[in-house]
Structure 1
Amino acid sequence: MNANYIYVALCFIPLVLYLIKLRNFKLNVKKMVVIAMFSGLSFILSKIVFIQYPQGGSINLLSSLPILLIGLIYGPVEGMTTGLITGVLGLFGGYIIHPVQLFLDFIIPPMILGLSGMFGSDSRAKVFFGCLIVVFLKCCVHVVSGVVFFASYAEQFNMGPWLYSIVYNFSCAGVEGFLSLIVATILPLEKIKREANKGYKASA
């Protein structure tokens, strides 16, 4: 079996786990509104180019931050739902050449960001490392997509598909994600979390 098929299959694991957890998940009105707002904010930020690279890549303005915050404030399912909505919004005007590439570039990466609270949010160290891991995994999915679907671009730079995809994606999505996680780490999350959860029990 081609190793690329294995890499692609591994990328779909977060989506499968999300669908399993979604069966017993309930949203209240407040959460739905917040998720919708943060999804829209992430999409808008993704259209604001902070740095444009000559080869076509770019760093946008902290588009990962809203998804990271929802994962930290509410939890993984809410965070992944925010990522899913953001990814669907990104399909409009997105470059799509294959159904699998659609998932690897637009749906799964932002969903992974929603797992930012995997270690909790009660300390800056937990926030930092949780966000760092999901940003890294997000970039890894983009790298697999680059190797499988955009390997021909590597020839222009006399690079192998893996090296080209790693350099391209970590210099774009990786830098943006790292800047977003730094901002997420320095924000007063406990205060934000208390405000976000006010009235939760009453409305649940």
Structure 2
Amino acid sequence: MVVIAMLSAIAFILSLIEFIRYPQDGGISLCSMMPVMLLSLLYGRTAGLTGGIIFGLLSLLNGAYVVHPVQFLLDYIFATMALGLADVFGSESKVKAIMGSLLAVIVSVFVSFLSGVVFFGEFAPPGMGVALYSFLYNFTTAGVEGILSIVVIAFIPLERFKKQISTESKVA
């Protein structure tokens, strides 16, 4: 429980460090998706999904842009919770961890894309389709950040971390 809280808090802190800020509460931050995906890869899907929900709720502290209850669920609960699916293929090998993390990012971006299509179409520039606008907006924010997070995960020695966690849980 403490690890879930700590990694969710780290995800929130990383989300405050933004490289690029977009209108309507978007942008590219310092790999804020990574702690939730790591939580899933190291402690399992339940821990990852729980951490994603907590991260989404913590994100409300940074100023929420809510236009409808369903949009709140899509953007602040389901999109962050989807990051907890990173262990869907397992974490026994680096390839499985990367593929699972990629799937988690794709699901997260897709949920945000749906929210954009349904609730934020009015922000599309004249002449641009709502779906294209939502895709471009969400891919260039959450998609890019997710790819950066996956690159960092590729360099993290997951097996060493899992071994250390296993050793510590036997001692405790």
Give the structure-2-normalised TM-score.
0.93
How far, CA to CA, are the matches of 2:76 and 2:170 in structure 1?
Answer: 34
In the TM superposition, residue 142 of structure 1 has moved relative to its aligned partner by: 0.2
Q: Which amino acid aligns with 2:39?
A: I
How far, CA to CA, are the matches of 2:100 and 2:24 in structure 1?
Answer: 31
Structure exhibiting the larger radius of gyration computed from Cα positions: 1
In the TM superposition, residue 80 of structure 1 has moved relative to its aligned partner by: 0.4
Count of matched residue positions in the alignment of Structure 1 and Structure 2: 171
Which residue of structure 1 lines up, in the alignment, with residue 156 of structure 2? 187
Would you say the 8 A contact 1:124–1:186 is kept in 2?
no
Unpaired stretches in structure 1, ≥5 consecutive residues: 1-31
Does 1:172 find its partner at 2:141? yes
More helix by percentage:
2
Which structure 2 residues correspond to residues 95-110 of structure 1 after superposition, within 5 A?
95-110=65-80
The list of structure 1 runs, each at least 4 consecutive aligned residues, that deviate by more than 3 angstroms after superposition, is 52-57
RMSD: 1.7
Q: Which amino acid aligns with 1:163?
A: L
SS of the aligned residue for 1:121 comes to coil
Percent identical? 49
Give the structure-1-normalised TM-score.
0.79
How far, CA to CA, are the matches of 2:69 and 2:163 in structure 1?
Answer: 40
How far, CA to CA, are the matches of 1:70 and 1:39 in structure 2?
Answer: 9
How far, CA to CA, are the matches of 1:89 and 1:139 in structure 2?
Answer: 19
How far, CA to CA, are the matches of 1:201 and 1:166 in structure 2?
Answer: 46
Q: Deviations over 1:53-87 (max 9, x none)?
A: 58974211100000010000011100000001011
Unpaired stretches in structure 2, ≥5 consecutive residues: none
